[in-house]
Amino acid sequence: MEGRSVYRRGRMAGCRLRRLSLGMRFGDAERLPETRTLALAVRRNRLIPICLPPPVGPRPEKLPAKLPAVEEQPVTTPWYAIENAAEVPSPALLIYPERVEENLRRMIAMSGGVAGLRPHVKTHKLPQIVAMKLGAGIEKFKASTIAEAEMTAAAGGRDILIAYQCVGPGAHRLARLIQTFPKTHFSALVDNGGTLAELSAAAVAAGVEMTLYLDLNVGMNRTGIEPGDEAVELYRELTRTGGIRVGGLHAYDGHLHNPDSAQLAADAAEVRDRVSEFIGRLRDEGLEIPRLIAGGTPTSPLWAAHGKQELRDRYGIELDVEVGAGTTTLWDFGQAAESTDQDYLNAAVLMARVISRPTRDRICLDLGHKAVAPEMPQPRVRWFTLEDAEALLQNEEHLVLRTERADEYPVGTVVYGIPRHICPTVALQSEVVCVRDARAVENWPVVARARRITI
Amino acid sequence: MEGRSVYRRGRMAGCRLRRLSLGMRFGDAERLPETRTLALAVRRNRLIPICLPPPVGPRPEKLPAKLPAVEEQPVTTPWYAIENAAEVPSPALLIYPERVEENLRRMIAMSGGVAGLRPHVKTHKLPQIVAMKLGAGIEKFKASTIAEAEMTAAAGGRDILIAYQCVGPGAHRLARLIQTFPKTHFSALVDNGGTLAELSAAAVAAGVEMTLYLDLNVGMNRTGIEPGDEAVELYRELTRTGGIRVGGLHAYDGHLHNPDSAQLAADAAEVRDRVSEFIGRLRDEGLEIPRLIAGGTPTSPLWAAHGKQELRDRYGIELDVEVGAGTTTLWDFGQAAESTDQDYLNAAVLMARVISRPTRDRICLDLGHKAVAPEMPQPRVRWFTLEDAEALLQNEEHLVLRTERADEYPVGTVVYGIPRHICPTVALQSEVVCVRDARAVENWPVVARARRITI
């Protein structure tokens, strides 16, 4: 990739391309002051530096009228590039702890403090990020599997909601979690009498107390009971079932993800109205509601901003409201496209290599759908510097891209990209690569991608 | 689910529904002679037996004119149901070793003996199945990652082709595999001079010899070099590069999967012609071709039937031809739909539970796309007894189905299904459940789903 071609594509603003001698090898780049490279391209077995676009901000729609000459633009290392890429087998998922920490700060600010925040661990499944959350003052955790809950407890989490229905053997596994980690408070969801009876039996048999939240179906029609008469009765049942303590209500509105923020706000307000009304009704029945846990990533800011206040204003009810954003920890381009009002940093980047160039205009990367979440349509990854490339074919260990610039990506070239959906992408990795100061420094096993750790 | 409703749907032929008292619990079913049940449904916390359809054969288009009365039909346990389901957390992937062994026998028959067979381990990633293959006399293995190759070698495999381009750190990892398992013969693919030079350097540095196959692009346009002048030159280069031994040719025709078997046969013949012609040309240039490894699951039978013979008839060349079928080991419904002429047993079954019934006509299963391969469109699973259900929504840990018979599937009901694509489905499991004599007997860790074991 020559400066010319980059320049032509209008992405060199703010960069100066220094003349680096071709033929440099890995390590050389580090020794060049102020000239830390980039993605390095291998051409004829030699490494050449590629000037990559600035890390943030959308690609400009049009070329500015006048760009500085290429020669005047400083070379900057893009934030995601690592200097020791040659040592890192691909495909790999790189995690940038400083960016995670910044996202945690923004999440805390969004929810108005740690008291209102219960972020989901399913996104990362990593004890190291649980530790970062604890370090940031976050004390409440949401999990979707017994294994995620166990990982979180082992990493020091003391308040963990399994936002899931523990059915079948799940009831006994939940009881064993409670027995195994006596310092941690576990809770789970329930939306029907049968499951409640099984959980109660498991709790009583194990001599433990289970905290359960009534799971409300607020329009997603995935799980939960509709906020109505039956739900009032089931909630009342919770209060008098042996071995069970009432946690409160869980209202997940995952069906709300309209990128039009005005429409999203209107839809979310409607859901809040239904939930508030139901809470008012429970209160009128003399039932106590310790807490409301609500919202997914798109609606969390709205719940945080209005949930508690509306309950106070309309019903005079003081209630703890917690939001459960998750993807915000690592962020991805699918969530960014849906939640246009939210501002988080990409803290997880896929790294791949060109392994073949089967035709003039095709490159094949070693990034198959066993390494990136494939439940979404293509593109499943947005590759930096390859924004023009079209994904033609993805198999288990291969991704074929078509680009007229294939000759700029010889076999061996390292490329970086943002996945569309980070949560299941993490679950496809046996370990992720922790990056500090532009270097891969250690591997972190993705502990909770297992469905069973010890329990 | 009552006999009546099943009867109405025309799926009771060959079954007799015995009167089992409602209220039986797990374990009761085992004690009923000749009446082993099946999927058991939980209704009001009680287990009721469900008579499931016969395991094989398509669903009849129309109801036969006269069916025997329900009372006369014998209850049969479907092959996939396990008696101790209550002990098995879901979601789970069940593996049936006797069915795997039968598939291996059919694969050997298809390829005309073990000499012509090099099945892919990517499908199962399990040392236990490598052991079954060895037990069946299969001595050659195909892998797509260094980890799969390491797992296979550790399980006793002595001849392993990594059907992949070992680029970047892959070159040194391949050298270390060769050093670590001196009794195993490893080989890999190459399709360009740069990679060849890197592999050669890694081999020489490690003091080992690497066997490389020239990877031909025979129309898939994924990896490989077109069989032409450059390919001849690269092959010649292989023969004289230090540290490298020539394995022969690799021709993967994964683009051929037409369910119309006549068209598939014609397309496959065209690919064989190109490959044969290229082999003739190499021979004319005085180059030795030790072996040809060709075909994916759909075309393997055709390569096995014609590949060797055509070379002999047309060019007088005697060459070992090996086929690389993989999915055949476990089978799935996607492959069955594509390869209509092939007859293998489903040897891997997903087990899930109903965890919620959020609306009148919806059930939610605990089978999200973190547990079944989601790169294909819905349906990603064909659920036994739920053939009429429509997949409405799948998230990471949830699958919502719409069925008018939702009331027959109360929360807790265990259901079984065949995945569309088994290979990446296995890779989503931390362990699979081995089933013998209709019981889950042990868990097998999916060793090679890791991208790195020790190397």
Closest alpha carbon to B77 in B27, B15, B13: B15
| Residue B451 to residue B455: CA distance in whole angstroms | 9
What pLDDT, on a 0 to 100 scale, did the predictor assign at position B74? 53
The closest CB to that of B222, out of A90, A164, A358, belongs to A358
B224 vs A contacts (CB less than 8 Å): 356, 358
Cβ separation A430–B414 shorter than 8 A: no
pLDDT of residue B324: 87
What was the pLDDT predicted at A76? 73
A397 touches chain B (CB under 8 A): yes
**Span B187-205, pLDDT tens digits:** 999 999 999 999 999 999 9
Tokens in use for A240? 């008098």
| A189-201 average pLDDT score | 98
Contact with chain A for residue B375, Cβ under 8 A: yes
Chain B nearest CA to A353, separation (Å): 8
pLDDT tens, position by position, A305-348: 999 999 999 999 999 999 988 999 999 999 999 999 999 999 99
Cβ(A386)–Cβ(A415) below 8 Å: yes
Q: Which amino acid is located at B295 in the chain?
A: G
Q: What whole-number distance in Å separates Cα of residue A233 and Cα of residue A362?
A: 61
Residue A64 Cα, gap to closest chain B Cα (Å): 37
Q: Which chain A residues touch B45 with a CB distance below 8 Å?
A: 194, 197-198
Contact list, A218 vs chain B (CB under 8 Å): none
**Domains of chain A, residue spans:** 1-78, 98-338
Q: What is the pLDDT of residue A60?
A: 36
Closest CA to B253 of B314, B308, B303: B303
Determine what percent of chain A is predicted with pLDDT higher than 70: 84
Asked if A412 and B145 come within 8 Å (Cβ–Cβ), the reply is: no
CA–CA dist B24, A266 (Å, integer):
50
Interface touch A452/B89, C-beta < 8 Å: yes
Instruction: Determine contact: A451 vs chain B, CB below 8 A.
Output: yes
Query: 10 Å Cβ neighbour count for B197?
Result: 17
Q: What is the CATH number of domain A98-338?
A: 3.20.20.10
Report residue A75's pLDDT band, with 50, 70 and 90 as the boundaries: low
Contact B164, B199 (CB under 8 A): no
- The pLDDT > 90 percentage for chain A reads 82
Q: Which of the 8 DSSP states describes residue B52?
A: P
Of A86, A217, A356, nearest to B165 by CB-CB distance is A356
Chain B positions in Cβ-Cβ contact with residue A197 (cut-off 8 Å) = 45
Closest chain B C-alpha to A158 CA, distance in angstroms: 23
C-beta atoms of A168 and B86 within 8 A: yes
Amino acid at B302: L
Q: Is the pLDDT of residue B14 over 70?
A: no
Q: Chain B residue with minimal CA distance to A371?
A: B451
pLDDT tens for A356-395 read 999 999 999 999 999 999 999 999 999 999 999 999 999 9
- Indicate the pLDDT class of residue A77, thresholds 50, 70 and 90: confident
pLDDT band with cut points at 50, 70 and 90 for residue B75:
low
Residues of chain B contacting residue A47, judged by C-beta atoms under 8 Å apart: none
Q: Establish if B90 touches chain A: CB-CB under 8 angstroms.
A: yes
| Closest Cβ–Cβ partner in B167, B370, B374 for A412 | B167
Q: Is B99 on the interface with A (CB under 8 A)?
A: no
B120 close to B144: Cβ distance less than 8 angstroms: yes
pLDDT at B417 over 50: yes
The alpha carbon of B412 is separated from its chain's Cα centroid by a whole number of angstroms, namely: 29
pTM of the predicted model, to two decimals? 0.85
What whole-number distance in Å separates Cα of residue B340 and Cα of residue B418? 16
A395 touches chain B (CB under 8 A): yes
According to the model, what pLDDT value does residue A27 have?
34
CA pseudo-torsion sign B27, B28, B34, B37: negative
Lookup: tokens for A382: 């947005």
Are the beta carbons of A167 and B374 separated by less than 8 Å?
no
Angle between the B193-206 and B170-180 helix axes, to the nearest 10 degrees? 40
B414 in Cβ contact with B39 (< 8 Å): yes
Task: Mention every residue, 6+ apart, whose C-beta is less than 8 A from residue B374.
Answer: A373, A374, A375, A424, B380, B394
pLDDT tens sequence across A261-270: 999 999 999 9
Per-residue confidence (pLDDT) for residue B77, from 0 to 100: 85
Chain B CA closest to residue A93: B451
The answer to whether A165 contacts B397, with C-beta atoms less than 8 Å apart, is no
Which residues in chain A have Cβ-Cβ distances shorter than 8 Å to B252?
A: none
CB distance from B234 to chain A under 8 Å? no
Best CA proximity match to A222, nearest among B350, B91, B43, B354: B354
Question: For B197, which of A45, A356, A370 is closest by C-beta distance?
Answer: A45
Write out pLDDT tens, residues A80-97.
999 999 999 999 999 999
Task: Please name the residues in contact with B372: beta carbons below 8 A apart, sequence gap of 6 or more.
Answer: B91, B350, B380, B381, B419, B425, B428
- Cβ within 8 Å, pair A429-B451: yes
**How would DSSP label each residue in B353-396?**
EEEE--STTEEEES--TTTS--SSPSPSEEETT-TT-EEEEE-S
Instruction: Search chain B and give the residue with CA nearest A446.
Output: B450
pLDDT at B12: 30
pLDDT of residue B451: 96
How much of chain B exceeds pLDDT 90, in percent?
82
Overall average pLDDT of the B104-128 stretch:
97
The token duo for B432 is 């699979």
| pLDDT tens digit sequence for A58-70 | 333 433 334 444 4
Round to whole Å and give the CA distance between B336 and A202. 42
Mean pLDDT of chain B: 87
Measured CA to CA in angstroms, residue A141 lies from A304, A325, A455 at distances of: 16, 10, 19
Cβ pair A398:B173 closer than 8 A: no
**Strands B381-383, B414-419: pairing kind:** antiparallel
- Whose tokens are 């290979």? That residue is B423
The mean pLDDT of B109-137, rounded to a whole number, is 97
Q: pLDDT higher for A100 or A68?
A: A100
Taking CA atoms, A288 is separated from A283, A284, A291, in Å, by 6, 10, 9
Taking the Cβ of residue A412 and every Cβ of chain B, the question of whether any pair is shorter than 8 Å is answered with: yes
Chain B residues lying within 8 Å of A164, measured CB to CB = 355, 366, 397
Could you give the residue ranges of the DSSP H alpha helices within A217-365?
229-239, 261-284, 300-302, 308-315, 333-338
CATH of domain B97-338: 3.20.20.10
* Distance, C-alpha A332 to centroid of its chain: 7
**Would you call B452 and A359 a contact, using CB atoms and an 8 Å cutoff?**
no
Angle at CA of residue A42, ends A39 and A43, nearest 5°: 135
- B453 in reach of chain A (CB within 8 A): no
Higher pLDDT, B260 or A12: B260
Q: Is A361 an 8 Å CB contact of chain B? A: no
Q: Which of residues 113-142 of B touch A (CB under 8 A)?
A: 122
Count Cα atoms within 13 angstroms, Cβ side, for A212: 36
Which ipTM was obtained for this model? 0.85
Answer whether A221 sits within 8 Å of B359, measured CB to CB.
yes
Q: Does B306 touch chain A (CB under 8 A)?
A: no
A 189-208 → B contacts, CB under 8 A: 191-192, 194-195, 197-198
Q: What is the pLDDT of residues B299-312, one digit of tens each?
A: 999 999 999 999 99
* B224: nearest CB among A195, A356, A369: A356
Sheet strand arrangement including A185-190: A141-143, A159-165, A185-190, A210-216, A244-251, A291-294, A320-323
**Of the partner residues A144, A223, A353, the one whose CB lies closest to the CB of residue B168:** A353
Radius of gyration of the CA atoms of chain B, in A: 25
Of A195, A354, A427, the CB nearest to B370: A427
Mean pLDDT for the stretch of residues A20-39: 31
Interface test with A, best of B146, B162, B356 (most A CBs within 10 A): B356
| CB < 8 Å to B362, chain A | 221
**Strand bridging mode A291-294 / B390-394:** unpaired
Interface of B with A in 160-179 (CB under 8 A): 164-165, 167-170, 173
Task: Say what the pLDDT of residue A74 is.
Answer: 53
